[in-house]
Structure 1
Amino acid sequence: MDDSPAPPDDLEYLNAPGTRITYRVRQRRADHTAWLGLALHLPAFLLSSALVVAMALALDAWLGVPVWLPASLWAASGILAFHRPAERLLARHALHLHLPLPAELDTLAPVWREVTARAGVDGNRYELWVEDSDDLNALAAAGHIVAVTRRALQDLPTSRLAAVLAHELGHHTSGHSWSALLGWWYAIPGRLVWRGLVRMKPRLLRTARGVSGTALGLLVVLVGYLGFATLKATYGLPLLLLALPYLTAAVGRRAELRADAHAARLGFGQPLALTLHERLAEQSAASGTVKQPGLAARLLSHHPDHRTRIHHLRPYL
């Protein structure tokens, strides 16, 4: 950290009366972390597609529904994830957000206009939301959702609130939000099947207890043989699936650092670093009572630790 004075708590709004704001022609793009995230979701998409095709074949056999119809509807369903009414349902029921109250909007709206004006982005393309949480956090989701927690709205000075919003805007303009949403959306069938298997686990264990040891041993040998044959035929590629959670988390951490850099390039590096220092101090104060995450947990985290984020912000301070 340098010894320069902290930024003021209030901002000079670029969108004051008579101020011209120029919007960039391309207000969104997809950086390499967005494309890497989509690529890492490909196995889940293929599994979900196989499940949908199996369901389509069953419908064709039972009801005569053409196989291409449910498969095509499934492939095109991702568009719904960016439909404004569908996004609002996602915000309210999945993310548990609410639209800002008038007093909250009076605080959020001018800061959001400042951030988007500096970025050359039309802020009206996005919707501001609030999460009833005592955590100091914010999020960007779907194609147009930008949310802050109640505590961030109440406790953060104006410049730091702007830095947090600039970070979330970076997720949108770099494509991180929409790529994560598509990966989540097209993995829904696979997740539903997995949850069903987890719920059936006690019943399967009870059934296994009633099976003779010989039959159970033959089943284990058969499954092991099929697994070995699959690995041999595919040159061990399925083993890469074990690394997917770690690779996905690494891409997520990279996306967070790029969003930090986006905020810093807009002039919010110092207030963002101060906010991270505050979070780090809170964590240090609680470290005596809270068990620190192990190596595996850190590798599976989609957010880099605050020290790493502050280190990467140093060139912008």
Structure 2
Amino acid sequence: MTQPPPEYPEPPEYPTQTGQPSVPPQYPQQQQPPAYPQQPAYPQQQQPPAYPQQPAYPQQQQPPTYPQQQPSYPQQQPPAHPQPSYSQQQQPPAYPGQQPPAYPGLSQPPAYPQAAPTYPGAAAPIPPQYAQSPPQAPPSAPGAAAAADDPAHPHHISTEARRVHLSNQQRRTDATAVGNLLLYVPNFLCSLCVVGLVSALFGDLAFVVILLWIASGALVFHRPTESALARRLLHLRHPTPQERAKIEPVWREVTARAGVEGRNYELWVEDSDGLNAVAAAGHIVGVTRFAMNELPNGELAAVMAHELGHHVGGHAWSGLLGYWYALPGRLAWRFLKAFSTFVFRVSKAFGCFGVVFVVLFIGGIAMATISTLYGLPLLILGVPYALAAVGRRAELRADEHAAALGFAPMLAAVLGKLHQQEQQAEAQATAQNGGVPVEESALSKLLSSHPDYYTRLHHLQPYLQPQQPR
């Protein structure tokens, strides 16, 4: 008889009835099996933990205050500016009426270069990059020396482009230009004699050589020749793009006031630390680097208006033309002077007899020349003094031209700076002379091409005095 297989005990059932069955050892009593690791079960009344990236704020709670850089502010108050330490001379700019501007709605932060993040219902904190920004420089105190490029400088002028009304007469030849040409006539005749003697070496072409020399005066108005003259003799150069951007608006303002076509002239720069300017040939206006960088644009305009006065009055071209035609005579004079010095030194080797012979020989030639030309060569001795007097008069005319354009106060300031430079030069010369002042002779004063400071300032007084209402 076959025995039935043994019956295995059935596994205990989980509590579904009133009885308490045995619990499997792997589970604690009355404990649910663990959920999946990815989603642990939480009690029904427990909220998940807050993540650090997104803190939960209560509905009625303000955002936490930030330490130092971001203090908490009232809900309807604009954020205060950073509180850097200001000195007594540097105070932050005040709001109109000493109150912050009214914002639409609740509040509005001040305008920053970039918009700062805001919280709903609260004022926006100031970003740290703005908290460390330095305050703006306050306006200069009254009486303080303003920088040359400061628009608040009393001699700063507006150089905005505007309509230009050109005058019918762009240039003229005033009395000083005509007098300058007349005074160069003796030098021209001496140069003509020199050129005639040299042209004799060419035989039949002597007359052609003389005509070519006379026609060469037109080179004064030739632009390439002017450029070579500016570079070689005057040591000028073309301005850089940065320099041109600075002086061209000033020059445009000067020519606009004068009614002159400014493009007819060329602007040049001299690499010098002195205050100076030059008007040469027919189209050259040059200023020094010091005048361009250190003077306010109003004073620079006064200097350029002065040089424009030399061009408009004909002083520049007449002076250069007279100098050109007098050049052969000057070269011949220098040659004769050097030759006479050489002969005189050689004659010393023969004793007193040789010296007397050379003196009599040179003196005889000089007397014969004077008597032949009716004493005309004697006029050459007085020409430099007369030319200097005419040059001083031309400077006063150019000053009047600049003052008539409205630059009289600026020009007076420039003259004062020139006078200070002259005084400094005199002080240096006195120090080098052992403390003894160097006296200028009367003849050297007569040869000066510019009037003294007080004379020029005296002629500017009618333009500096306020106009009386009629």
Normalising by structure 2, report the TM-score.
0.61
The more displaced of 230-239 and 32-41 is 230-239
The more displaced of 283-292 and 229-238 is 229-238
CA RMSD for the aligned pairs? Answer: 2.2
- Alignment-derived partner of residue 302 in structure 2: 163
How far did 1:214 drift?
Answer: 4.2
Write the deviation string for residues 125-173 of structure 1: whole angstroms up to 9, x where unpaired: 0000000011100000000000000100010001000000000000000
- Alignment-derived partner of residue 53 in structure 1: 196
SS in 2 for 1:66: helix
Normalising by structure 1, report the TM-score.
0.89
- Alignment-derived partner of residue 148 in structure 1: 287
**Whole-Å separation in 2 of the counterparts to 1:82 and 1:231:** 35
Is 1:138–1:168's contact at 8 Å kept on the other side of the alignment? Answer: yes
* Percentage of pairs with the same residue: 50
Write the deviation string for residues 169-214 of structure 1: whole angstroms up to 9, x where unpaired: 0000000000011011111212222333344355323322244644
More helix by share: 1
**1:97 and 2:236 correspond:** yes
Change (3 A) 1:234 1:77: closer
Please give the residue correspondences for 1:149-228 in structure 2 after superposition, counting only pairs within 5 Å.
149-211=288-350, 213-214=352-353, 216-218=355-357, 220-221=359-360, 223-224=362-363, 227=366
**Whole-Å separation in 1 of the counterparts to 2:341 and 2:370:** 29
Change (3 A) 1:55 1:85: same
- Alignment-derived partner of residue 129 in structure 2: none
**1:111 and 2:250 correspond:** yes
**Whole-Å separation in 2 of the counterparts to 1:311 and 1:69:** 51
How far did 1:283 drift?
Answer: 2.8
Write the deviation string for residues 88-137 of structure 1: whole angstroms up to 9, x where unpaired: 00001111100001111111100000000100000000000000011100
- Alignment-derived partner of residue 8 in structure 1: 154
Larger relative contact order (Cα-Cα within 8 Å, sequence gap ≥ 6): 1
Write the deviation string for residues 236-263 of structure 1: whole angstroms up to 9, x where unpaired: 5543332211111000000000000000
Amino acid at match of 2:328: P
How far did 1:25 drift?
Answer: 1.5
Q: Which structure is larger by alpha-carbon Rg, 1 or 2?
A: 2
Aligned equivalent of 2:260, options 121, 141, 162: 121
Unpaired runs of 5+ residues, structure 2, are 1-151, 430-437, 465-470
Change (3 A) 1:270 1:103: same
**Whole-Å separation in 1 of the counterparts to 2:177 and 2:193:** 24
**1:304 and 2:443 correspond:** no
**Whole-Å separation in 1 of the counterparts to 2:370 and 2:326:** 23
Unpaired runs of 5+ residues, structure 1, are 1-5
Change (3 A) 1:48 1:101: same
Is 1:280–1:307's contact at 8 Å kept on the other side of the alignment? Answer: no
**Whole-Å separation in 2 of the counterparts to 1:123 and 1:8:** 26
**Whole-Å separation in 1 of the counterparts to 2:425 and 2:187:** 37
- Alignment-derived partner of residue 52 in structure 2: none
